[in-house]
Structure 1
Amino acid sequence: MAFRRRNKSYPFFSQEFLIQNHADIVFSLVIFSLVGLMFETTAKTAVLFIQPQYNISTMSADGEVTLYHYGWKDCATVLFYLCITIILHAVVQEYVLDKVNRRLHLSKSKNTKFNESGQLCVFYLVSSLWSLYVIATEGFILHPSSLWENYPHVHLRFHVKFFYLTQLAYWFHTLPELYFQKVRKEEIPRQLQYVSLYLLHILAAYLLNLTRVGLVLLFLQYLSEMGFHLSRLFYFIDENHHKMFEMWSVGFVLTRMITLTLMFLAVGFGLVVLCLTRRLLVLFMVCFTQSWLLWKFFRFQLSRTRKMRLEQVARKRAAAKHQMQRTLKRDSVGHHENGLIKAENGTSPRLKKIKAP
């Protein structure tokens, strides 16, 4: 199964060979893990990678229910789905984004940003729909107080735990993708910054049993980020699309306000069982992140407004200069000599005869 066109062959296990064929290599590892399920001696090890671990069965009003909690074996599951994510990343890149890029004929810098926004749009769309489904099925929309009631939420349903494991797998997969996609050195710090923030917050929600609040916050964050990257995609397709950025700006600020309000309600007043140190730590982490995002947003908007004003002033000056040049050129078509207008060839224009009264 080939994911990329091979215009040139490279030596085995060379750097270029690994970059060009990384999706095929990872796909082979996934198939190898799935084949392990077919044999009794390797089935237990293969299940460790494929299926979420630490399940317990409890009785409820609906019958027997299987719940999960976290543990160190989750690292193996995250590793397996990290490989799955690398394969899906290559599929989206090869069969969707590359085909669109060939039609748009973008520059190299815009091409890189287009690919980044395209990949993130797909992820944010799937994750926001998935998180909304989990929020609806768990009843958090009709009963918001259930976000902090009966804390700690140690036991999770399958779709909640699987959601968090796949989220961790996706954000961990972005680290090797920096190497596979040959990201420029000046772009690496920016990408490491937001990837680290996502991993920090998702791990904190998962390990501190704040999965319910984390689900809602991730849904809001992904919805806001999807709006930004959709706006950027439409801008690359047609540079006249600016209205979507304005809509995203309003949504971005609203998302920050809702996130801060929800965290104060849930952690500050709802999760009283959580020790004071942890509550303050979680509140500080979320408030600091949201404040930092707002500061970056307002700084970007101010610099953008200043740049637009400078461009507008420069445009007006250029128009005034052009108008002045046209006026001077029109006046220089003829010149005066002894009170008469001389043309460029030196001849005087014919004078009109004045009729006698």
Structure 2
Amino acid sequence: MNLKWLIPITVISYLCSGFALAQLSPEQATAKEQGLILYNQLKPSYATPFLSIAAEAGDHEAQYFLAESLRKKNHYMNPESQKWYEAAADQGDLYAMIQLGRNDDSLCKNLQNCAPVQKPAIEWLKQAQHIAKPKAENGDAESMYIMYELTVDKYWLKRAADAGHPIAQYWMGIAEKQGEGFFLPWQRQDSIEKWFKASAEGGYPKGMREYALLLSEKNDMEGYRKWNEKSALTGYVSTIFEYGSDLAHEPDLYGYPLDAVKGYALIYLLKELDGGGGMQADVKDQLQKISSKITPEQIAEAKSFAKTWKETHPPLSFFPEKLSR
């Protein structure tokens, strides 16, 4: 399995400055992969035992996502999640430093179970900025994006986007789509399209989806089909659902040739998301609609197709933001 598909963003270098990285055994690496798949499918409780194996072995990425899973499961940074954030931060993980720096401890104070901290939250943010800023000023796109997360200064988001960071490009497009920035009326849409196109070409599935939708608004259905399919091929849940629905003509909006068997298969794949994302009602409804159009033999063929797809394509993922709130 290709690990690049397991991380929530597609261009992560982790910026570990001079820290040794843990070497995982094959069993530990497999556990980490499975944990990341489940995490990206919004199943933090299921991900925890797998991520724990690699985290205990000293892998800072597993430590970070274990901390995220525990925090999400408990809805706040409890002592256990704090421990793993600190373990990752001690290895130079800037994302862990940022989460420690953002921590609002009001809930644990109310519950009277706050854990002792290594350092105040502001010190973690200062440490992250001390590491990231020189790299950003030297042209590193991810460090620029980290600086945006640290400062909430759109200057750094724009610099990261200009430097080719596809997630920064996506967020530039979203911000302008929501009305940010100053443009002449005919310029805004061109700028939005520029950012989403760059994000899509940079490999970010959410950018691909936004660019596809933008093309459909321009009545470029061929362009929509191209980028919607590309996004689905990454395992992105939203576009797999849309692609399957389009192929089955439920509804027929974008001019896909009818292929109800493949459409059923792609929607059927999403039954795997029984613990995350709240999609099962939509999946059940869509499968019922498509099954009314095809025979039991075709349904069996579709299920076989779904099995083959799963074995030959990246795992399903919601591609959650790495720095979740």
The answer to whether TM tops 0.5 is no
Higher strand share: 1
Normalised-by-shorter TM-score class? under 0.3
Compare CA radii of gyration and give the structure with the larger one: 1
Larger proportion of helix = 1
TM-score of the pair, normalised by structure 1? 0.21
